[in-house]
Amino acid sequence: MGEISLELSIVGAEALLPFILVGFAAQLVDGALGMAFGIICNTLLVAVVGMAPARASANIHIVETFTTAVSGISHLIHGNIDRVLFLRLLIPGIIGGVSGAYLLTNIDAAVVKPFVLGYLVLTGVYLLVRGVMYPPRQRPARVVAPLGLIGGFLDAAGGGGWGPVVTSNLLVQGVEPRRVIGTVNSVEFFLTLTVSATFISQLGLKDFAVASIGLLIGGIAAAPLGAVMAKRIPPRTMFILVGTVLSLTSAYGVMHALGL
């Protein structure tokens, strides 16, 4: 009996390992650059595993509730949060997230998704060019609430989008990169908590799948490291990294959405 239990444990660990690695890598990128956890995980669950979009988004947001809590605390400790910007993003983000979660169960977001992803590709290219050719100029953000509303909606409806939409656009407006990333990650905790509750009310609460458990383990392990990286990476390098990640992930998303 002991040998059988050991064998099952090994099989379980082997099944979890790929998702742990994906969760770790996705959260490391998300914590350091303010984006990509939802996009990476959603791509895996929907395109590779074959999970339904609504269920994939629900699982991702439940996992992100834990990872963003750890990430937000880490960013707070390292002084990466702008309190004024935090408050300006919070309520619009929650409203957009709840709306997107409700609509995902009734409306197919695949129709508009390629256009949104195309816009994000262009934004990523702009940030990449700006990082390479121009020194960043820091100034207060002017457009905040609409970003929170749109980013929250797309995040819930598409299983990812809060970071790419909000982080990239705040960087374009000239806000200090580490404060953008720390603030966006911190607001995301409240967004994912609300969106998760909305999905659970619509879809019901089921036991975590192996994928969700693995993503959770990897994501929580990587969350503190991302905050340290966000504080130490130079602004110019941050623009280049964010632009590259945003362009590549969005371009892949466009091709996948169009069936290419």
**Complete DSSP assignment for 210-225:** HHHHHHHHHHHHHHHH
Is the confidence at residue 216, as pLDDT, over 70?
A: yes
Q: What local confidence, expressed as pLDDT, does residue 162 receive?
A: 83
Domain that holds residue 14: 2-257
Per this entry, what is the length of the chain? 260
* Residue 208 burial class via C-beta count within 10 angstroms: exposed 0-12, middle 13-18, buried 19 and up: middle
Is the confidence at residue 99, as pLDDT, over 80?
A: yes
226-249 pLDDT per residue, tens: 778 877 877 778 778 777 877 777
The number of domains in the chain is: 1
> Phi and psi (nearest 5°) for 88?
-70, -25
| Token pair of 205 as six digits | 């609460």
Average pLDDT, the chain: 76
Sign of the alpha-carbon torsion through 253, 196, 101, 164 = negative
Confidence (pTM): 0.69
Closest CA to 216 of 16, 10, 8, 11: 16
Q: What local confidence, expressed as pLDDT, does residue 245 receive?
A: 76
